[in-house]
Amino acid sequence: SVALPQDVLYIIKTLNQAGHQAYIVGGCVRDTILHTQPKDWDITTSAKPEETKKLFSHTFDTGIQHGTITVVLNHTNYEVTTYRIEGEYEDCRHPSGVTFTNNLQEDLLRRDFTMNAIAYHPEEGYLDFFHGMEDIQSKTIRGVGAPALRFQEDALRMLRCVRFAAQLGFDVEEETYQALCENRELIKKISVERIHDEMDKLWLCHHEDKMPLLWQSGLLTEIDEQLANRLMQREHGLLEDLKKAPKESVLRWTIVLQDYSPQEAKAFLKKLKFDNDSLKRICILLENINQALPTLGYPLRGLISKLGLEAVSQLIILQEILRPTAPSLQTAQCLDKIIADGDCLTLKELAVDGQMLMEIGVPKGKELGKLLSLLLDFVHQNPERNQKNILLEKAREFM
């Protein structure tokens, strides 16, 4: 039996007492069977959204047109969704409309994989019309019903399939995999944002050895042919690298794109609609990935002021993975000492500023900026120099 949180039991009981059916469903049931902690608890119910809203004091509309409302209990959100049937799918991604139903089985039938189509009730136990339990036990991802049709309805399911394989360490059942390969070009109908989200999740998964399904199936070729070809070529090395890397998105994308020039990477990341911040961070790492990192305070302080502390820390991690002969440990120790000593790293921390330099007669403009960076470099050479009198004297000398 499954230990449901008190809040979840309360939601189910409240709905039941008002005469509605209610079950937990989807990823949380699957994760409970696998003895892993669900990320969130989803409830499926015969109650219409308006009826659910009346039963709880704190709710908000999440996707009311799709039947989903969020119930808030003890500062936690629970999604409660009305049983629904999706209408005909248009263009491989959008159902033309959703219809509510009173039949749990119809709601489960619209779900993607058997492992995600099990409902559970604290008194009734599991309702498992498609043998999802068996598939979970044998670590199998199997489409509900005819997999080809399911991928044609919603092509994102193909990427979800690969991602779940890598997330759970499951194999894809043969007919489902066949259907995925045959329908791979439909992924082009899916928005880049959603493809990006799924790939982001994929690289963060624990079962790296399942990641090659993405290119072996031909799916990645439809998304980006160049990336597919490159990953195919360096598959073994890529997986070894990813296994050693922390679960952090920017770092993992940098490893995936490690043989891209910064320009190539930029074009790819733009195409996948990365936000500017991540794009910049990945490109900075790629630009510096093959550079020997300093092991001494002087050049290292300069590099930190140029790239930022986060980028330098990530470069150390990347070099440990990609260039095991590099003296990463020394760099790491040196970085720790710089942080512990609170060394001046940026212009902001410099003991003089533009105003003070103008007061001793430095003209405003380009000269001033140049002088400030000279002084910063002077301090990077020896942090003890970060004193107003020393720096003003040096400034006069530079002038």
- Please, what is the Cα angle at 101 between 98 and 107, to 5 degrees? 80
Are 101 and 118 in contact, with CB atoms under 8 Å apart? Answer: no
Residue 281 contacts which entry, ligand ATP, Mg ion, none (Cβ below 5-8 A, type-dependent): none
Residue 116 contacts which entry, ligand ATP, Mg ion, none (Cβ below 5-8 A, type-dependent): ligand ATP
- Could you tell me the two tokens for 247? 């679960």
Residue 156 contacts which entry, Mg ion, ligand ATP, none (Cβ below 5-8 A, type-dependent): ligand ATP
118 versus 352: smaller Cβ distance to ligand ATP: 118
Minimum distance, C-beta of residue 41 to Mg ion, in the bound complex (Å): 9
Minimum distance, C-beta of residue 348 to ligand ATP, in the bound complex (Å): 41
**What are the start-end ranges of the E strands in 167-233?**
171-172
Minimum distance, C-beta of residue 127 to ligand ATP, in the bound complex (Å): 13
Minimum distance, C-beta of residue 112 to ligand ATP, in the bound complex (Å): 4
- Could you tell me the two tokens for 234? 């360096």
Residue 331 CA to its chain's centroid (Å)? 28
27 versus 327: smaller Cβ distance to Mg ion: 27
Residue 236 contacts which entry, Mg ion, ligand ATP, none (Cβ below 5-8 A, type-dependent): none
**Which residues, in sequence order, are CB contacts of 183 under 8 Å at separation 6+?**
148, 151, 152, 155, 158
175 versus 310: smaller Cβ distance to ligand ATP: 175
Position of minimal CB gap to ligand ATP: 27
Residue 80 contacts which entry, ligand ATP, Mg ion, none (Cβ below 5-8 A, type-dependent): none
Binding site for Mg ion (CB under 5 A): 27
Helix-then-strand count for the chain, H and E = 22, 13
27 versus 383: smaller Cβ distance to Mg ion: 27
Binding site for ligand ATP (CB under 6 A): 26-27, 39, 42, 111-112, 116-117, 154, 156-157
206 versus 244: smaller Cβ distance to ligand ATP: 206
168 versus 322: smaller Cβ distance to ligand ATP: 168
Using CA atoms, how far apart are residues 198 and 150, in angstroms rounded to an integer? 18
**Which residues, in sequence order, are CB contacts of 301 under 8 Å at separation 6+?**
338, 343, 344, 345, 380, 383
| One-letter identity of residue 336 | D
3-state secondary structure of 40: coil
Phi/psi region, residue 75 (left: phi>0; alpha: psi -120 to 50; beta: rest), is left
- Could you tell me the two tokens for 241? 């690298």
Residue 241 contacts which entry, ligand ATP, Mg ion, none (Cβ below 5-8 A, type-dependent): none
Minimum distance, C-beta of residue 116 to ligand ATP, in the bound complex (Å): 3
